[in-house]
Amino acid sequence: MLPTQKLYEGKAKILYLTEDADILLTVYKDDATAFNAQKRGQIKGKGEINCAIARSLFELLEKAGIPTHYIDCPASDRMRVKAVKIIPLEVVVRNVAAGSLCRQTGLSEGKVLPFPLVEYYLKNDELGDPLLTRPRIELLKIISEAELAAIEQMALNINRHLQEFFVKCDITLVDFKLEFGKDSQQKIILADEISPDTCRLWDIAESDPQARVLDKDRFRRDLGGVESAYQQVLERILAKVSSAL
Ligand code: UDP
């Protein structure tokens, strides 16, 4: 039975209110979208797989001292999370050039970056999530300079822990998107999800540029084998996560 009070339905998840105002229930969906929802489809089993992946990664980060919204999973496609006010920034961290970084700068796909690149995009579908600059963040009064500095440090810290863990899974963490929120005490914590929908993950053992893709690019680029790639990521994470926790 689903709770009835739907708060918000996003592209990959539905948020429900619970009896406790500080807790929300997230239901992970099989729906997949790409290119600002111009391409739509379903990835069978994705809801459960992404929920399990996000759960493992949130647990890993919590253990490393990074505050997240994760509470627990009452069912395989459901996660209870702390209620936060989402900061309208998509925080992208990149270790290897791919996607829009290549399109916008001419860097070749697969180039290992000399330092992790942290970028901010405005979370606004109507505007197509544009890349922001620090002055624009200030201009739009999205967050203070000190809060932005704290988010940058958290993003780099998260990257360090995730990169280290994914290497153990024989996966290269190419890039990923994070969202942060403020809890009732105005504390900034990691929110949303971390999954193959929001990360680029390449099989370390595979050099073929299509075969190595284990993430949503398989769906975006019609490469096939989407479900099995997501399943593969989950299996590798589960094989390593208990020893890391
Ligand atoms: N990403 C995301 N949601 C978005 C945009 C990007 O989860 O709305 C993730 C994407 O999966 C990738 C990273 O952020 O892991 C960087 O994406 P990029 O800017 O290269 O955009 P794309 O090439 O996907 O348009």
| 199 in contact with ligand 1, CB cutoff 6 A | yes
How many angstroms does the Cα of residue 99 sit away from the middle of ligand 1?
A: 7
CB 205 within 8 A of CB 114: no
**Cα 217 to Cα 233: distance, rounded to the nearest angstrom:** 14
Cβ burial 24-60 (10 Å sphere, 16+ → b, else e): bbbbbbbbbbbeeeeeeeebebbbbbbbbbbbbbbbb
Query: In this structure, are 105 and 56 located in the same domain?
Result: no
CATH of the domain at 146: 3.30.470.20
209 and 113 within one domain: yes
Q: Is 176 in the pocket of ligand 1 (CB under 6 A)?
A: yes
Q: Which of 117, 177, 199, 230 to mutate to test the pocket of ligand 1 (most atoms within 8 A of CB)?
A: 177
Q: Does residue 170 share a domain with residue 78?
A: no
Percent of the chain scored above 70 by pLDDT? Answer: 99
Q: Is the CB of 46 under 6 A from ligand 1?
A: no
Is residue 191's pLDDT more than 80?
A: yes
CB atoms near residue 106 (< 10 Å): 8
Mean pLDDT of 103-118: 98
Do 98 and 78 reside in the same domain of the chain? no
φ/ψ (deg, to 5) at 172: -90, 125
Note the pLDDT of residue 244. 86
Whole-model pTM: value is 0.97
Q: What is the pLDDT of residues 53-104, one digit of tens each?
A: 999 999 999 999 999 999 999 999 999 999 999 999 999 999 999 999 999 9
Last residue of one domain, picked from the residues 50, 82, 114: 82
- Tell which wins on pLDDT, 245 or 8: 8
Residues 57 and 114 in one domain: no
Residue 7 CB coordination number (10 Å): 14
Predicted confidence (pLDDT) at residue 153 exceeds the cutoff of 60: yes
> Same structural domain for residues 100 and 194?
yes
Number of structural domains in the chain: 2
Q: Which domain holds residue 129?
A: 85-224
- Across the chain, mean pLDDT equals 96
Q: What is the pLDDT of residue 245?
A: 84
Q: 75: which 2 tokens?
A: 């069912």
List the one residue out of 88, 83, 160, 161 whose CA is nearest residue 129: 88
149 burial type by CB count under 10 A (0-12 exposed, 13-18 middle, 19+ buried): exposed
165 lies in the same domain as 127: yes
Amino acid at 241: V
Answer yes or no: do 119 and 219 share one domain: yes
Beta carbons of 218 and 225 less than 8 angstroms apart:
yes
Instruction: Please give the average per-residue pLDDT across 189-211, as a whole number.
Output: 98
d(CA 102, ligand 1 centre) in Å:
12
Q: Whose CA is nearest to atom 2 of ligand 1?
A: 198
| Mean pLDDT of the 160-171 span | 98
Please check whether residue 245 lies inside any domain of the structure. Answer: no
Verify that 90 and 189 share a domain, yes or no.
Answer: yes
Q: Each residue of 11-40: pLDDT tens digit?
A: 999 999 999 999 999 999 999 999 988 999
